[in-house]
A and B are shown apart, each in its own frame.
Chain A
Amino acid sequence: MDINKKNIEELNDLLLWKDIISGDEISFEKLFKKYYNSLYRFGNFYFRDKDLVEDSIHDVFLEIWKYKSNLNPDVKVKAYLYSCFKNRVFKKMKISRRIFTIHEEQYNPEFEFSVEEILIRNEYEAEKIQQLNHLINQLSPKQKEIIYLRYFENLSLEDISTIMNINYQSVKNLLHRTIAKFKDSVKIK
């Protein structure tokens, strides 16, 4: 049932996408509003520069509209948006690099945590979660990204491979290695 829900989601996106290609402004607006916040969150998680993130979302959608007639009608819309968005942010960073030096940590995504207490059963659990959060922040940037995309955004490995620009097998391996790190540390004694 849940798998179907995801497929319907993808299908809906694709329908919007095809309408955009044929010049439908309403679908364009819908897609923008639908993905604004998820791109915004992803951008802020990844790059932390709010203005840069906002400008990049703006640019990506402007280009989609401008070149709509040349767009590929059969894409995974969400993955495509994320990967365009990421490329755009990096491009913008490179341009500004001529003026400013970019600090390393701008590439290093950071998880900020705020635990909703309702979901936590007891203090022991809260402590465990805190430990794990700490562990997540110790990961390499790529590992953080894959965790975010896979478990927070619920994207498929295929989509992740598009967004991270690495092949499917590498995504699988990276995810496997990352998960292995957690397995032991969250073990309940």
Chain B
Amino acid sequence: MKKEFKIWEFQDLIENESFKNWVINQEDSAFWEDFATRNTKNAQEVESARIFILSIFSINIKGKSEKEIISAYEELNLQKNKEKRQFFTQIYRIVATVLILGFGGFLSFIYFDKSNIAEEFKSVILESNSKSGLIEQINYNTLPQIITLSDGSSVLLQPNSKLSYPSEFKNDKREVFLTGEAFFEVSKNPLKPFYVYSNEVVTRVYGTSFRVIAYEGQENVEVMVKTGKVKVSKVKIGGKLDPSNSLINDEITLLPNQAARFLKKESSFEKVIQISENKEIQTELEEIEKLSFEFDDIPVAQIFKTIEDVYSIKIDYPRNKMEKCYLTTSLTDIPLPEKMKIICLAIGNNTNYEMFGNNIKITTDGCN
């Protein structure tokens, strides 16, 4: 700042940050002391302005302590969530009324037979089926199958598993239904939480990667988290498909490298804190959880190989053109389509990808 060449008046001084800093915090003192002693006009202006600033900053208004502010926020938080819950309950009531009108007998049977949780869950699927027309995908192969959802999330469906999902996520949430085992990489969208319904367990996320194991006939349901934050809870008995209800239920929050097991018999959760310390769960993890997608100056061919192995897909690319391509990138916690997009962007030169089922085709002009 060219302070020297300006004629400083009272108002200039009191509005100058550096001047204020000098008065209040004794900073920049060399400059201002020198300035004040140059001539009597300066000295007077500086002294007046100094007194003015001191006077303003001697206002005594006590703020609240940090603790008080935190409790004020808690109070606000409580109310803000209460209003949200009321809203959901209302919607739920309307939906419920419509459904009872439609499926009267059938539904009331399930509704009152509260002991039969499995039936309950089936009805949940049925309900959703009839509402939105879900796509049902069953993996009969021996290798995992990749499914890309309309929001860009990817699901790695294990053999003998079934995923039901809508062709497009409408409404304010993303809901899918799983029987068997799958690894999810959910694209981030705080406005549309992602729900996985598997037997009696609801898993709610906003954008993360995790695995759900819920085979029919298997004793327990397991949820394991790789990245991000996941919340699991029971599907409320008699409550139908209402995530906001399950929020009130005992809900467990899982952080990366944590897992929860739902014991069907006892109808309760068992939280296994550290995956890496639990051998039983360790063996269940597939390549994808153990692998890091942090690439540091790695040939693209090798990155493709890693992706091929992890997702059990085939990537077709012009090998000769991409021989000299090296990339440094972090692809952890990103759904497959996004991973491909980032790689293509990083390579540049008209690089694009297309995905057909388990095959990806790359077109490119090569590397710089």
Say yes or no: A113 contacts B17, CB within 8 Å: no
Say yes or no: B76 contacts A41, CB within 8 Å: no
User: Which residues of chain A are within 8 angstroms of B53 by Cβ–Cβ distance?
Assistant: 151
Chain B interface size band reads: 35 or more
Q: Does A136 contact B (CB under 8 A)?
A: yes
Say yes or no: A41 contacts B63, CB within 8 Å: yes
Say yes or no: B14 contacts A120, CB within 8 Å: no
Stretch of A7-15, A30-38, A71-79, A88-96 with 4 or more beta carbons under 8 angstroms from chain B: A30-38
Chain A residue at smallest Cβ distance from B80: A65
Say yes or no: A115 contacts B58, CB within 8 Å: yes
| Total contacting residues, chain A, CB less than 8 A | 52
Pick from A33, A57, A186 the residue with the most CB of B within 10 Å.
A186
B1-25: which residues lie under 8 A (CB-CB) from chain A?
Answer: 1, 10-11, 14-15, 17-18, 21, 23-24
Q: Does B268 contact A (CB under 8 A)?
A: no
Given contacts A129-B58, A186-B51, contact A62 B76 (CB under 8 A): yes
User: Which residues of chain A are within 8 angstroms of B60 by Cβ–Cβ distance?
Assistant: 112-114
Say yes or no: A133 contacts B17, CB within 8 Å: no
Say yes or no: A179 contacts B10, CB within 8 Å: yes
Given contacts A119-B54, A182-B52, A188-B44, contact A23 B191 (CB under 8 A): yes
Chain A at the B interface: SS class? helix
Chain B residue at smallest Cβ distance from A65: B80
Say yes or no: B10 contacts A22, CB within 8 Å: no
Q: Does B48 contact A (CB under 8 A)?
A: yes
9 contacts between A and B (CB under 8 A): A1-B1, A6-B17, A32-B72, A40-B63, A114-B58, A119-B54, A129-B55, A136-B56, A183-B10
Q: Does B284 contact A (CB under 8 A)?
A: no
Chain B residue at smallest Cβ distance from A1: B1
Chain B at the A interface: SS class? helix
Say yes or no: B64 contacts A40, CB within 8 Å: yes
In the assembled complex, the Cα of A115 lies from the Cα of B54 at a distance in Å of: 8
In the assembled complex, the Cα of A25 lies from the Cα of B97 at a distance in Å of: 32
Shortest CB-to-CB span from B69 to chain A, Å, is 5
Say yes or no: A151 contacts B51, CB within 8 Å: no
In the assembled complex, the Cα of A37 lies from the Cα of B62 at a distance in Å of: 9
B26-84: which residues lie under 8 A (CB-CB) from chain A?
Answer: 44, 47-48, 51-64, 69-70, 72-73, 75-77, 79-80, 83
Shortest CB-to-CB span from A175 to chain B, Å, is 9
Q: Does A100 contact B (CB under 8 A)?
A: no
Say yes or no: B54 contacts A120, CB within 8 Å: yes
Say yes or no: B72 contacts A132, CB within 8 Å: no
In the assembled complex, the Cα of A151 lies from the Cα of B70 at a distance in Å of: 28
Chain B residue at smallest Cβ distance from A176: B11
Q: Does B217 contact A (CB under 8 A)?
A: no
Q: Other CB < 8 Å A-B pairs besides A29-B73, A125-B54, A186-B51, 10 of them? A: A2-B21, A32-B69, A36-B69, A113-B55, A115-B54, A119-B54, A129-B58, A151-B52, A179-B14, A183-B10
